[in-house]
Every structure is written in C-alpha cells, then in structure tokens.
Amino acid sequence: MEWLRFIAAAILILLGLIMELIAVFGVYRFKFVLNRMHSAAIGDTLALGLVIAGLIVMKGFSLVSLKLLFVLFCLWVASSVSGHVLSRMEVTIDEEDVHKNCEVQE
Amino acid sequence: MSRMRNDYESTLWSRIEKFVNGEEPEQTMKRKKKSRASYEQVKREDVFMEDILLRMERREEESFLEKVEEYGEKRRVRRYERIYRILAVFLCFTVMAVLLVTVSYLPPFGNPDNPANNEVIERYIEKGLQETGTVNVVTGMILNYRGFDTMGETHVLFIAATSVTILLLAVSEKDKKRASDRSFEPKNDIILQKAAKVLVPVIFMFGIYVIMNGHLSPGGGFSGGAMIGAGMILYAGAFGFAKTDRIFNGHVIKIAKISALCLYVSSLSYYFYTGANGIENHIPLGTPGNLFSSGLIFFINIFVGTEVACTMYTFYALFRRGGL
C-alpha cells in the first residue's frame, strides 16, 4: 500500500514538473505575447495542481492537505485571473500586433 | 478683537505670508512698476521728439541703474554658490573622516567579547514571555523592550509617506484633465470582479488574523496591515473607486489614520512614562497564549495595522487617480 501511494505521488509530481518545464519552454520559445501568456498559464494552473495533488497523496488526508488545497484554490483563482487581466490589457494596448497575429472579437 | 497693525505691511510676518501665498514682495513690485512707468513716460516723450537729450540721459541712467542692480544680485548669487560648494565639500570630508576614524576603533568581527554578545539577548529569550506576556518574543521585543526604537521607525515611515503624498498631490488641474491611458483601459471586467468577490473576504480575514495574533504567532501590525491594504487595492481595482468611496473615502481614511497614529503614540508613551519612572503600569498581562493577553501590545498591533493599511490604499489611490 505504501509503495502504491509513493509511486502515485511520484508520478503526479513528475508530471507537474514536466508541465512546468513545458511552460518555461513555451514562454521563451514563442514570439507573440498572448501565446506566451497561454504557456505561462499552463505553469500557473496545471503544473501547480499536479504538484500539490502529488503532495496530498504523499501525506495522506490531514489538516496539512486541507491547507494545501486552500493554497491551491487561492493560487488558481488569483494567478489565472491575473493572467486574464494582463492579456486583456495587452489586447487593449497593442492592437496592431494582436490583429496581425490572431482574430480578436471587439 | 485684534486689530491689524498700522505698519503691518512692513512686518516680517506679512512678508512671510506673501511669500507663502506666492505674491511678490513689496520692494521688487515697486521697483518693477517704477521702471515701467518711467519707461512709458520716456516713450510718450519720444512721440513729441522734443528733448532728445533729456530722454537719452534718462534712458542711460535707467539702464545703468538696472545693470548695477543685476550685477549686485548676480554677485550675491555667485558668492552664495561658491560658499555652498566649499561648505559641501568640507562637510563631506568631515563626515568621511569621522566615519573612518570610528571604523578603525570597532572591535574585530566575530569576537565573543564584542559588546553585541551581551546579556540583553539572553534576557529577551529567558524572561521575555514572563515580562511582556507575548508568546512571540520578536513582537514583545520590538513593541515593548525596544518600543522607543520602533516608535522612531514608525515616525520615519509616516514622514516619508506624508512627503510622498505631498509630492503626488502637486498635480496641476491641466494635467488632471488631460486624457491618459487610464481612459482606454478595460473597465468592469466580469472575471476579475467575480475573483475579487471570492478573494477579498479571504484576504481581509487573513490580514485581521495576522494582526490579532501578532503576539502569539509570527506576524503583527506591519504585515497584517499590508495584507488588508492589498485586499482593498484589489477591490478598488476590480470595481472602481465609485464603489469603495461609499464606505472608504478620504474623510474616513483621514479619521482612521490620525486616530490610529495618536492612539499608538499615546499607548507607547504610557509604557515609556511608567518604565522610565519605575512605576507599576497596572495593565494585566493575562495568561500567555490567550488572545487578550500581553497588555497593550495587542492594541498597538491593531493601531499599526490600521495605519499601514490606510497608507497603502492612499498610495494606490494617489497613483491611480491623483487624489484621495
């Protein structure tokens, strides 16, 4: 049982790290701002969720895991919304670049 | 009833008042008027072309007088600048020399006999809980043992905040009316508003928790106040100032800020007075670990938190819309 739990936690955390690496790769690789914001948001949401899920599986269900879930909730709300606001600001300010690269509904 | 003095115009106070109001002092105004009047007189005479010699004389005299005046002023300015430079260099070198001499007298680094390694730290750790009633010894140290130092720091912070506010308020009416980038930014973002509705109460709760538990766990007025200020900034950013102004406008901020500062200083002064005179301060310390324990430190944390939160929100409002 302990083995199974450890393997599951390790897989989750490793998946989270891979997602984070993909996010960093995307941030440096893409040229257009909104694409970069998108890949940064992967790191903010999916990678973070996977790592915290792995930690919860490793520790078992206790007060600590409840606190971790709370942290996850706050970060999911805050960082994804901040990404949204930043992207919207970018669409507002840099109209030329945005219209050249993608279709935006006004 | 007080009556204005007959020679009020020539007193020092009236000159200061005129300077503060931005008016020109009496003497220079007179001088300007006089010179302009005589110049116009000269011009009128110019039309008649009668006594050219007299006019030329007058003009020469006038320009000569002006030159003398200008020269005198310039010379004064130049002399002032020279003395200023010499004094500045002299002061810099003096301070440098004093500091270098002091450095050479400092004890070697890491020596166990250094004055920093004295009984003070031991006393803080051993008797801190008993004497101040705070479980978190750091709070007991900065608000009780070293309260004088903390009060000085708070005053420095307050003066800095006040001067920044003065600088930011000095915006002319023309700049305010000019269209800025603010008018183009997206407003009433529904996603941000929903997120703020979820997050702001949590942030407020956490900030209040940190302030109230400043004597029991890490935290205190400064950090908790910063959290509450951040929550208010998030709310103002999501819903705009029209909503926050209903409850938290400039008037409320002024009252909260000034009363918090006064209460903070007076409660710390009570500690100073009783401590310096060796009087019992009659404030029960309570059982350590309870919420209402450790005497005045609990309330001092609340005052400091209010002050910091108001200052943070004020700065945001000043940068965002140029006024409270």
Does B198 touch chain A if contact means CB atoms closer than 8 Å?
yes
Domain that holds residue A32: 2-101
Res. B15: pLDDT tops 80: no
Choose the mutation target among A44, A72, A85 for the interface with B, i.e. most B CBs under 10 Å. Answer: A85
Q: DSSP secondary-structure letter at B8? A: G
Q: Which range has highest mean pLDDT (A88-92, B113-117, B254-258)?
A: B254-258
Mean pLDDT for chain B overall: 80
Domain tally for chain A? 1
Residue-level pLDDT at B259: 92
Residue A69 lies in a domain: yes
Choose the mutation target among A74, A77, A81 for the interface with B, i.e. most B CBs under 10 Å. Answer: A81
Residue-level pLDDT at B12: 77
* Angstrom distance (rounded) from CA A52 to CA A64: 11
Residue A106 lies in a domain: no
Residue-level pLDDT at A105: 63
* Angstrom distance (rounded) from CA B254 to CA B6: 40
- Tell me if residue B282 falls in helix, strand or coil: coil
Contact call for B189 and A77, based on CB within 8 A: no
Q: Which of B185, B191, B198 sits opposite A89 (nearest CB)?
A: B185
Least confident of B12-16, B20-24, B180-184: B180-184
* Angstrom distance (rounded) from CA B280 to CA B265: 19
Does B192 touch chain A if contact means CB atoms closer than 8 Å?
yes
Largest interatomic CA distance in chain B: 103
Res. B25: pLDDT tops 60: no
Residue-level pLDDT at A99: 76
Residue A76 lies in a domain: yes
Does B97 touch chain A if contact means CB atoms closer than 8 Å?
no
CA separation, residue B99 to residues A94, B17, B95, B105 (Å) = 53, 42, 6, 10
Contact call for A77 and B198, based on CB within 8 A: yes
* Angstrom distance (rounded) from CA B320 to CA B241: 10
Residue-level pLDDT at B1: 47
Residue-level pLDDT at B149: 87
Residues near B291 by beta carbon (within 8 Å), at least 6 away in sequence: B212, B213, B216, B298
Residue-level pLDDT at A42: 87
φ, ψ for residue B8 (rounded to 5)? -60, -35
CA distance B312 to chain A (A): 20
* Angstrom distance (rounded) from CA A39 to CA A41: 5
Residue-level pLDDT at A10: 93
Whether this model's ipTM surpasses 0.85 comes out as: no
Contacts of A93 in chain B (CB under 8 A): 181, 184
* Angstrom distance (rounded) from CA A42 to CA A26: 10
CA separation, residue B49 to residues B42, B54, B55, B56, B61 (Å) = 10, 10, 9, 11, 19
Residue A61 lies in a domain: yes
Residue-level pLDDT at B131: 75
Which is more confident, B6 or B278?
Answer: B278
Segment A1-60, tens digit of pLDDT:
788 889 999 999 999 999 999 999 999 988 888 888 889 888 889 999 999 999 999 888
CA atoms within 13 A on the CB side of B181: 7
